[in-house]
Copies of this chain bind each other. A is one copy, B any other.
Amino acid sequence: MLLRRLERQPHTFGQAGKLTPSDIHTIDAIGLEGTMLMSELASRLGVTKGAITQLIDKLQAKALVTRSPHPQDSRSSIVSLTELGKEAYVAHEAMHLAYYEQLRTQLSEQEIEVFEKSIDILNTVLHDMLNH
């Protein structure tokens, strides 16, 4: 229920202004890899390519990402972060780290290991769930 609510609420990251969860997940994926193709983003985020076009249009309008042509394949476009986009990415990473630290203060090292193992299992369970 909490995650549901969180995943609807925009949040401010650095100078980039308010970003929706979809926005920041997109920026996160790009930032993690450096650059991304539209189709890679679609499969990574689990949405259609049409959705990615719209998302990237929006982020480009906000000057958070840029599209550049692929040198070998002129159908593809390479998406990367602008300086402003990188700032949002870093701010988001910092936030994650802060929450991870908060977890670490309340759990021992062994407990964290168990937690991570549990999350892995949960991950496969949820994956099964998605594929019915």
Contacts and interface: CB of A to CB of B under 8 A. Distances in A.
B114 A5 contact: no
A33 B45 CA distance: 36
A18 to B, nearest CB: 12
B125 A103 contact: yes
A104 to B, nearest CB: 10
Main secondary structure of the interface of A (DSSP, over half): helix
A61 interface: no
A6 to B, nearest CB: 6
Interface of A: 1-7, 9, 21, 25, 44-46, 99, 102-103, 106-107, 111, 114-115, 117-118, 121-123, 125-130
29 contacts: A1-B44, A2-B123, A2-B126, A2-B127, A3-B7, A3-B126, A4-B21, A4-B25, A4-B46, A5-B46, A5-B130, A6-B126, A6-B129, A7-B7, A99-B125, A102-B121, A102-B128, A103-B122, A103-B125, A106-B121, A107-B117, A107-B118, A107-B121, A111-B114, A114-B114, A114-B115, A115-B115, A115-B118, A118-B118
